[in-house]
Amino acid sequence: MLEVSDVSHAYEPGAWAVREVSLRLEAGRIGCLLGPSGCGKTTLLRCIAGFETVAAGGVRLHGEVLAEPGRHMPPEKRRIGMVFQDYALLPHLSVTGNIEFGLHALPRAERRRRVEEMLELVGLAEHAGAYPQELSGGQQQRVALARSLAPRPRLLLMDEPFAHLDPALRERLLVEVKQILRQLGTTVLMVSHDPLEAFALADRLGVMREGRLEQWDDSYVLYHQPVNRFVAGFVGRGAWLKGIVRGDGGIDTELGVARGHSAESLRPGAQVDLLLRPDDVLHDDACVTTARVVERSFKGSEFLYALALDSGARVLASVPSHHNHAPGERIGIRLATEHLVAFAAQV
Ligand code: ADP
Ligand code: MG
């Protein structure tokens, strides 16, 4: 298990790139850090990998201390694998050569066996002799993955591994990579700036802001029970609707009473902003409450509608794509909240 406790790091005195970050990741789990550019994601990975020292706090892996102030296990001793955004494959080595690269310590026969196993795992057995530049982006990324998994790391760190791939390829590779990691039972901490990618891969998610980890939770909890507006806004689409908390725990809004369970107890009478995800707003032709279609974007099996309410407030609705309504039309809607995410209203 990976345990990061209160880790801080500054590249220059006083400029904290990572501030008091704590997280735990159980063995075999995939965790993902999200957050805007410059919030400290890469720095945190580098502290865990051992490329940076920690100014405060500690990093432990399976109970062993890797880093503390004044104590720094060198990266090559940590048995942590790393996959970077730019693959960092060695151009003069074949696929086999690249995968073999970190296996010098193993006897030859064992090394061969490990390489074959990895080639099989990532589906590149027939490209064993190819050079990186002869491979597609997706294949190169699979070589990078095989290379970092070959030494059987105790933990795999991946820094925006799919950022350079085109969206269609990325979606396919995400599924493959997840299967590979699950098959090996590898513990993974990755970084992404794309919430959809994070949801597709990870069991545990974190959102960072200005060096701090704002929340670290199961993916489902983070999406449905974000601890603040920043996290709520970062992990998915949604709109804020004004409401007033009722005595029975529901929230009165322009669209009727929103009900569902809430992580925090809401004070009756309080004015709140309620987060509505696109799947919290249902389109129903039978509804008397209507909203005007402002924008319609086609997502394949569904439309994402931006809707204007009578008050001028906007909400989003995810609607099966056989309900095709043009901008300007009025369509019936109702609330279907399961979780209430509400924060004190901002004035
Ligand atoms: P992210 O990966 O979330 O985009 P980084 O960890 O790369 O963020 O950067 C966090 C902060 O640390 C930023 O303010 C960045 O400018 C700063 N930083 C990153 N690397 C260095 C470095 N080598 N030297 C000085 N400052 C750095
Ligand atoms: Mg980064």
Ligand 1 pocket residue status of 51, Cβ below 6 Å: no
Residue 84 — pLDDT band, cuts 50, 70, 90?
A: confident
Distance between CA atoms of residues 295 and 331, nearest Å? 13
Helices marked H in 73-157: 95-100, 108-121, 137-149
**129-136: which pairs have CB atoms within 8 A and are 24 or more residues apart?**
129/94, 129/95, 129/96, 130/94, 130/95, 131/91, 131/92, 131/93, 131/94, 131/95, 132/87, 132/89, 132/90, 132/91, 132/93, 132/95, 132/98, 133/91, 135/95, 136/169
CA of 163 to the centre of ligand 2 (A): 11
Q: Hey, whose CA ends up nearest to atom 1 of ligand 1?
A: 38
- Which atom of ligand 1 is nearest the CA belonging to 159? 2
Would the pLDDT of 259 be above 80?
A: yes
CA of 161 to the centre of ligand 1 (A): 18
pTM above 0.85, yes or no: yes
CA of 35 to the centre of ligand 2 (A): 9
Q: Hey, whose CA ends up nearest to atom 23 of ligand 1?
A: 11
Q: Hey, whose CA ends up nearest to atom 22 of ligand 1?
A: 11
- Taking the CA of 85 as reference, the closest ligand is 2
pLDDT of residue 86: 76
CA of 95 to the centre of ligand 2 (A): 26
- What rounded mean pLDDT belongs to the chain? 93
- Which atom of ligand 1 is nearest the CA belonging to 18? 10
Ligand 1 pocket residue status of 11, Cβ below 6 Å: yes
* Position with higher pLDDT, 167 vs 43: 43
pLDDT tens column, 45-54? 999 999 999 9
Mean pLDDT over residues 233-247, rounded? 93
Q: Hey, whose CA ends up nearest to atom 27 of ligand 1?
A: 11
- Which atom of ligand 1 is nearest the CA belonging to 40? 6
pLDDT of residue 102: 83
Express as a percent the part of the chain with pLDDT over 70: 100
- Taking the CA of 35 as reference, the closest ligand is 1
Distance between CA atoms of residues 270 and 249, nearest Å? 11
Express as a percent the part of the chain with pLDDT over 90: 80
Ligand 1 pocket residue status of 190, Cβ below 6 Å: no
Would the pLDDT of 65 be above 80?
A: yes
Q: In a 3-state reduction of DSSP, which class is residue 345?
A: coil
- Which atom of ligand 1 is nearest the CA belonging to 211? 10
Ligand 1 pocket residue status of 40, Cβ below 6 Å: yes
pLDDT tens column, 15-34? 999 999 999 999 999 999 99
Residue 55 — pLDDT band, cuts 50, 70, 90?
A: very high
Mean pLDDT over residues 46-74, rounded? 96
Q: In a 3-state reduction of DSSP, which class is residue 241?
A: strand
pLDDT of residue 316: 97
pLDDT tens column, 190-199? 999 888 889 9
Residue 163 — pLDDT band, cuts 50, 70, 90?
A: confident
pLDDT of residue 161: 87
Q: Which amino acid is at 328?
A: G
pLDDT of residue 167: 81
First to last CA, the chain: 44
Would the pLDDT of 334 be above 90?
A: yes
- Taking the CA of 38 as reference, the closest ligand is 1
Q: Hey, whose CA ends up nearest to atom 26 of ligand 1?
A: 11
CA of 52 to the centre of ligand 1 (A): 12
- Taking the CA of 13 as reference, the closest ligand is 1
Which range among 125-129, 150-154, 299-303 shows the weakest confidence by mean pLDDT? 299-303
Ligand 1 pocket residue status of 36, Cβ below 6 Å: no
Would the pLDDT of 41 be above 90?
A: yes
pLDDT tens column, 86-141? 778 999 999 999 999 889 889 999 999 999 999 998 899 999 999 999 999 889 98
Q: What is the CA radius of gyration of the chain?
A: 24
Mean pLDDT over residues 273-289, rounded? 94
Residue 172 — pLDDT band, cuts 50, 70, 90?
A: confident
* Position with higher pLDDT, 294 vs 301: 294
Residue 265 — pLDDT band, cuts 50, 70, 90?
A: confident
For residues 26 and 62, the answer to whether their CB atoms sit within 8 Å is: no
Q: Hey, whose CA ends up nearest to atom 11 of ligand 1?
A: 17
For residues 258 and 274, the answer to whether their CB atoms sit within 8 Å is: yes
Ligand 1 pocket residue status of 35, Cβ below 6 Å: yes
